[in-house]
Amino acid sequence: MKAPITRRKSLLVAAAAALALTLSACGGSSGSNPSPVQKPSFAAGSSMEKLANAGTIKIGTKFDQPLFGQKGLDGKPVGFDVEIGKAIAAKLGIAADKIEWVETVSANRESFIEQGRVDLVIATYTINDARKQKVDFAGPYYEAGQALLVNKSDSSITKPEDVKGKKVCSVTGSTPAKTIVEKYGAELVPAATYTACLEPLRNKQVVAVTTDNVILAGYVDKEPDAFKLASDQTFTKEPYGIGLKKGDTAFRSWINDQLEAFAKDDTYKKAWESTAGKVIKTVPSLPKIDRY
């Protein structure tokens, strides 16, 4: 027997609501859409003016890192880096749906900036002197630290010294890959992305995966029965910056101003709480901006 029409309608509404919930739980929602500033004005010839006039911006981010930059079911990335990107674009008068997201992996971030394939890189991107030879950084907007991900059943590894001479997976071109080899004597098994390190870990082809604690925390959150962090301690400092073309000081300084404003008006806090903050509960405060 058919349910009466009103009841059928409410069943449909309930089913649609359940689907919406499922989609957002799977990362199907494309996050916030901050209102763009209407007709912002910038110095003639500045990158800000050019981007505002173009009405679009190309931002490089990760496409497969939970919590920071991960492509959702609608094809748009979600995460803390993505929220920071949207907030910056809004200050240029560019709406979230006008941002062109470009996948950048650890190894191609400098070259994508140098070649102008992206205007900015916001991609768990550690500021360091070697990279500063090629690109400039606004920020830092967050400070992570290197850690180790191991199989849940493994209690033999608790610190980086424990992986000496052992196979560890990390990503080509990343700071953790360099550190685990040069400082701790691990044998690197390189991959293009961190997600590609998970199967080798599960199959015990490597004893650990190493990168920033907050990236690894996203994988533990997805598979708490399979993986764990070797320890709560981190063993490096990884200050995340926003990469841009070397020498564009006006743009860098303007982005730094925006980051400071986001910390004051709660944009920063909301960006965290709606993304990484779902797993990492402590809301960070904006680190001191390095206006070098």
83 lines the binding site for ligand GLU (CB under 6 A): no
- Report the residue from 124, 179, 210, 258 that binds ligand GLU according to the rule CB under 6 A: 124
**Least CB distance to ligand GLU at residue 234 (A):** 11
From the list 225, 104, 79, the residue with the least C-alpha distance to 171 is 104
**From the CB of residue 39, how many other CB atoms can be counted at a distance below 10 Å?**
7
Nearer to ligand GLU, 49 or 103 (CB): 103
**Least CB distance to ligand GLU at residue 181 (A):** 13
Rounded Cα distance, 179 and 162, in Å: 14
Residue 252 is given by DSSP the state H
Token pair 């000496």: residue:
164
| Per-residue tokens: 7 | 């009841």
Nearer to ligand GLU, 108 or 211 (CB): 211
195 lines the binding site for ligand GLU (CB under 6 A): no
126 lines the binding site for ligand GLU (CB under 6 A): yes
175 lines the binding site for ligand GLU (CB under 6 A): yes
30 lines the binding site for ligand GLU (CB under 6 A): no
Nearer to ligand GLU, 125 or 272 (CB): 125
**Least CB distance to ligand GLU at residue 90 (A):** 24
- Report the residue from 57, 171, 201, 216 that binds ligand GLU according to the rule CB under 6 A: 171
| Per-residue tokens: 84 | 């920071």
Rounded Cα distance, 194 and 167, in Å: 15
176 lines the binding site for ligand GLU (CB under 6 A): yes
| Per-residue tokens: 227 | 């993986």
**Least CB distance to ligand GLU at residue 213 (A):** 10
Nearer to ligand GLU, 30 or 175 (CB): 175
256 lines the binding site for ligand GLU (CB under 6 A): no
What is the side-by-side strand order in the sheet with 69-71? 64-65, 69-71, 77-78
| Per-residue tokens: 52 | 């505002």
Q: What number of CA atoms fall less than 13 Å from residue 232's CA on the CB side? A: 1
- Report the residue from 125, 227, 251, 268 that binds ligand GLU according to the rule CB under 6 A: 125
What is the side-by-side strand order in the sheet with 208-212? 187-191, 167-171, 208-212, 146-151, 227-229
Q: Would you say 208 and 157 are in contact if contact means Cβ atoms under 8 Å apart?
A: yes
Residues of this chain, 210-249, that bind ligand GLU according to CB under 6 A = 211-212, 238
- Amino acid symbol at 95: A
- Binding-site size for ligand GLU (CB under 6 A) equals 12
Nearer to ligand GLU, 23 or 196 (CB): 196
**From the CB of residue 59, how many other CB atoms can be counted at a distance below 10 Å?**
26
Candidate segments 92-100, 168-176, 196-204, 241-249, binder of ligand GLU by CB under 6 A: 168-176
Nearer to ligand GLU, 92 or 123 (CB): 123
- Verify cis geometry, omega within 30 degrees of 0, for the bond prior to 77: no
> Which spans of this chain sit near ligand GLU (rule: CB under 6 A)?
106, 123-126, 171, 174-176, 211-212, 238
